[in-house]
A and B are shown apart, each in its own frame.
Chain A
Amino acid sequence: MPQLDARVPAGPIAGKWDRHKFEMKLVNPANKRKFTLIVVGTGLAGASAASSLGELGYNVLSFCIQDSPRRAHSIAAQGGINAAKNYQNDGDSVYRLFYDTVKGGDYRSREANVYRLAQLSVNIIDQCVAQGVPFARDYGGLLDNRSFGGAQVSRTFYARGQTGQQLLLGAYQSLMRQVHHETVTLFPRREMLDLVVVDGRARGIVVRNLKTGEIERYAADAVILATGGYGTAYYLSTNAVNSNVTAAWRAHKRGAYFANPCYTQIHPTCIPVSGEHQSKLTLMSESLRNDGRVWVPRKVGDRRPPEQIPEDERDYYLERKYPSFGNLVPRDVASRNAKQVCDDGRGVGETGLAVYLDFADAIRRIGIEGIRDKYGNLFQMYQKITDENPYETPMRIYPAIHYTMGGLWVDYNLMSTIPGLHVLGEANFSDHGANRLGASALMQGLADGYFVIPYTIADYLASTPLPKISTDHDAFKQASDAAQRQINALLDVKGTRTIRHFHRALGRILWDDVGMSRTAESLTRALAEIPKLREEFWHDVSVPGAPDNLNQSLEYAGRVADYLDFAELLALDAQHRRESCGGHFREESQTPDGEALRDDEHFSYVAAWEYTGPGQRPELHKEPLVFDEVHPTQRSYK
Chain B
Amino acid sequence: MRLKLRIWRQAGPTAPGRLEDYAADDISPDMSFLEMLDVVNEGLVRQGKDAIAFDSDCREGICGMCSLVVNGVPHGPDRGTTVCQLHMRRYKDGDTITIEPWRARAFPVVKDLIVDRSAFDRIIAAGGYVSVNAGGAPDGNAIPISKAIYEQAMDSAACIGCGACVAACKNASAHLFMGAKISQLARLPQGQVERASRVAAMVHQADAEGFGSCSNEGECEAVCPKEIPISNIARITRELVKAVWRGGE
- On A, residues with C-beta under 8 Å from B are 48, 51-52, 55, 66-73, 75-76, 85, 87, 123, 125-132, 134-143, 159-160, 162, 165-166, 169, 172-174, 176-177, 179-180, 186, 188, 211, 240-242, 274-275, 277-280, 282-283, 380-381, 384-385, 387, 450-451, 454, 494, 496-500, 542, 544-545, 549-550, 552-553
Docked-complex contact A180 and B126, CB < 8 angstroms: yes
Q: What 1/0 flags go to B84-116 for Cβ under 8 Å of A?
A: 010101000000000000000000001100101
Known contacts A68-B121, A552-B51; is-contact A240 B146 (Cβ 8 Å): no
What residues of A have a CB within 8 angstroms of the CB of B216 in the complex?
Answer: none
Docked-complex contact A130 and B59, CB < 8 angstroms: no
What residues of B have a CB within 8 angstroms of the CB of A166 in the complex?
Answer: 154, 157
Q: CB-nearest residue of chain A relative to B205?
A: A180
Known contacts A71-B65, A132-B190, A173-B124; is-contact A279 B59 (Cβ 8 Å): yes
Docked-complex contact A70 and B121, CB < 8 angstroms: yes
Q: In the bound complex, what is the Cα–Cα distance between A177 and B138 (angstroms)?
A: 20
Q: In the bound complex, what is the Cα–Cα distance between A454 and B134 (angstroms)?
A: 10
Docked-complex contact B118 and A160, CB < 8 angstroms: no
What residues of A have a CB within 8 angstroms of the CB of B238 in the complex?
Answer: none
What residues of A have a CB within 8 angstroms of the CB of B246 in the complex?
Answer: none
Known contacts A68-B121, A177-B125; is-contact A141 B144 (Cβ 8 Å): yes
Q: In the bound complex, what is the Cα–Cα distance between A130 and B139 (angstroms)?
A: 9
Docked-complex contact A279 and B34, CB < 8 angstroms: yes
What residues of A have a CB within 8 angstroms of the CB of B44 in the complex?
Answer: 544
Known contacts A130-B190, A173-B124, A542-B48; is-contact A240 B147 (Cβ 8 Å): no
B38 on the A face (CB < 8 A): yes
Q: In the bound complex, what is the Cα–Cα distance between A500 and B59 (angstroms)?
A: 17
Q: In the bound complex, what is the Cα–Cα distance between A110 and B34 (angstroms)?
A: 42
Q: In the bound complex, what is the Cα–Cα distance between A574 and B69 (angstroms)?
A: 45
What residues of A have a CB within 8 angstroms of the CB of B65 in the complex?
Answer: 66-67, 71
Known contacts A138-B147, A544-B50; is-contact A131 B132 (Cβ 8 Å): yes
What residues of B have a CB within 8 angstroms of the CB of A160 in the complex?
Answer: 154
- Whole-angstrom distance between the Cβ of A145 and the nearest chain B Cβ: 11
Q: What 1/0 flags go to B220-238 for Cβ under 8 Å of A?
A: 0000000000000000000
Docked-complex contact A141 and B146, CB < 8 angstroms: yes
Q: In the bound complex, what is the Cα–Cα distance between A52 and B167 (angstroms)?
A: 34
Docked-complex contact B60 and A76, CB < 8 angstroms: yes
Q: CB-nearest residue of chain A relative to B138?
A: A126
Docked-complex contact A134 and B51, CB < 8 angstroms: no
Docked-complex contact A387 and B85, CB < 8 angstroms: no
- On B, residues with C-beta under 8 Å from A are 11-12, 28, 30-32, 34-35, 38-39, 42, 44-46, 48-51, 53, 55-65, 78, 80-81, 85, 87, 89, 110-111, 114, 116-118, 120-121, 124-135, 137-141, 143-147, 150, 153-154, 157-158, 160-161, 184-185, 188, 190-191
What residues of B have a CB within 8 angstroms of the CB of A172 in the complex?
Answer: 124
- Whole-angstrom distance between the Cβ of B81 and the nearest chain A Cβ: 7
Q: How many contacts between A and B, using CB within 8 angstroms?
A: 219
Pairs A–B under 8 Å by Cβ, sample size 16 = A48-B134, A51-B134, A68-B64, A68-B161, A73-B63, A75-B58, A130-B138, A137-B144, A137-B147, A142-B141, A165-B62, A176-B124, A177-B125, A188-B121, A381-B60, A387-B89
Q: CB-nearest residue of chain B relative to A186?
A: B121
What residues of B have a CB within 8 angstroms of the CB of A542 in the complex?
Answer: 45-46, 48
Docked-complex contact B59 and A176, CB < 8 angstroms: no
Docked-complex contact B51 and A553, CB < 8 angstroms: yes
Docked-complex contact A384 and B87, CB < 8 angstroms: yes
Docked-complex contact B85 and A385, CB < 8 angstroms: yes
Instruction: Other than A85-B140, A137-B144, give 8 A-B pairs with Cβ distance below 8 A.
Output: A67-B116, A71-B64, A135-B150, A160-B154, A176-B125, A240-B59, A498-B45, A542-B45
Chain B CB within 10 Å, residue with most, of A71, A127, A186: A71
What residues of B have a CB within 8 angstroms of the CB of A67 in the complex?
Answer: 55, 65, 114, 116-118
Q: CB-nearest residue of chain A relative to B48?
A: A544
Of the candidates A48, A135, A173, the one whose C-beta lies within 8 Å of that of B130 is A173
Docked-complex contact A177 and B131, CB < 8 angstroms: yes
What residues of A have a CB within 8 angstroms of the CB of B160 in the complex?
Answer: 165
Docked-complex contact A385 and B87, CB < 8 angstroms: yes
What residues of A have a CB within 8 angstroms of the CB of B80 in the complex?
Answer: 380
Docked-complex contact A552 and B53, CB < 8 angstroms: yes
Docked-complex contact B50 and A132, CB < 8 angstroms: no
What residues of B have a CB within 8 angstroms of the CB of A143 in the complex?
Answer: 140-141
Q: In the bound complex, what is the Cα–Cα distance between A180 and B197 (angstroms)?
A: 14
Known contacts A52-B134, A127-B137; is-contact A132 B126 (Cβ 8 Å): no
What residues of B have a CB within 8 angstroms of the CB of A176 in the complex?
Answer: 121, 124-125, 128-129
Docked-complex contact B139 and A126, CB < 8 angstroms: yes
What residues of B have a CB within 8 angstroms of the CB of A126 in the complex?
Answer: 137-140
What residues of B have a CB within 8 angstroms of the CB of A279 in the complex?
Answer: 32, 34-35, 38, 59
Docked-complex contact B134 and A55, CB < 8 angstroms: yes
Docked-complex contact A544 and B49, CB < 8 angstroms: yes
Q: In the bound complex, what is the Cα–Cα distance between A138 and B203 (angstroms)?
A: 34
- Whole-angstrom distance between the Cβ of B195 and the nearest chain A Cβ: 11
Docked-complex contact B58 and A544, CB < 8 angstroms: no
What residues of B have a CB within 8 angstroms of the CB of A274 in the complex?
Answer: 30
Q: CB-nearest residue of chain A relative to B15?
A: A549
Docked-complex contact A76 and B85, CB < 8 angstroms: no
What residues of A have a CB within 8 angstroms of the CB of B135 in the complex?
Answer: 123, 127, 450-451
Of the candidates A129, A173, A450, the one whose C-beta lies within 8 Å of that of B134 is A450
Q: In the bound complex, what is the Cα–Cα distance between A242 and B66 (angstroms)?
A: 12
What residues of A have a CB within 8 angstroms of the CB of B30 in the complex?
Answer: 274-275, 277
Docked-complex contact A129 and B144, CB < 8 angstroms: no
Q: Which 8 A-B pairs have the closest CB atoms?
A: A141-B144, A173-B129, A130-B137, A126-B137, A176-B125, A129-B140, A52-B134, A240-B57
Q: CB-nearest residue of chain B relative to A553?
A: B51
Chain A CB within 10 Å, residue with most, of B12, B34, B111, B130: B130
What residues of B have a CB within 8 angstroms of the CB of A188 in the complex?
Answer: 118, 121
Docked-complex contact A280 and B126, CB < 8 angstroms: no
- Whole-angstrom distance between the Cβ of B2 and the nearest chain A Cβ: 15
Docked-complex contact A162 and B62, CB < 8 angstroms: yes
What residues of A have a CB within 8 angstroms of the CB of B190 in the complex?
Answer: 129-132
Q: CB-nearest residue of chain B relative to A164?
A: B62
What residues of B have a CB within 8 angstroms of the CB of A134 in the complex?
Answer: 150, 153-154, 157, 184, 188
Of the candidates A159, A240, A552, the one whose C-beta lies within 8 Å of that of B63 is A240
Docked-complex contact B111 and A550, CB < 8 angstroms: yes
What residues of B have a CB within 8 angstroms of the CB of A137 in the complex?
Answer: 144-147, 150
Known contacts A75-B58, A381-B60; is-contact A136 B45 (Cβ 8 Å): no
Docked-complex contact A76 and B58, CB < 8 angstroms: yes
Docked-complex contact A211 and B121, CB < 8 angstroms: no
Known contacts A454-B134, A552-B51; is-contact A179 B62 (Cβ 8 Å): no
Chain B CB within 10 Å, residue with most, of A87, A274, A279: A279
Chain B CB within 10 Å, residue with most, of A129, A384, A496: A129
Docked-complex contact B188 and A70, CB < 8 angstroms: no
Q: CB-nearest residue of chain B relative to A450?
A: B134
Q: In the bound complex, what is the Cα–Cα distance between A242 and B147 (angstroms)?
A: 37
Q: In the bound complex, what is the Cα–Cα distance between A379 and B234 (angstroms)?
A: 31
Of the candidates B59, B85, B124, B154, the one whose C-beta lies within 8 Å of that of A159 is B154
Docked-complex contact B35 and A550, CB < 8 angstroms: no
Known contacts A68-B117, A69-B121; is-contact A500 B12 (Cβ 8 Å): no
What residues of B have a CB within 8 angstroms of the CB of A384 in the complex?
Answer: 78, 81, 85, 87
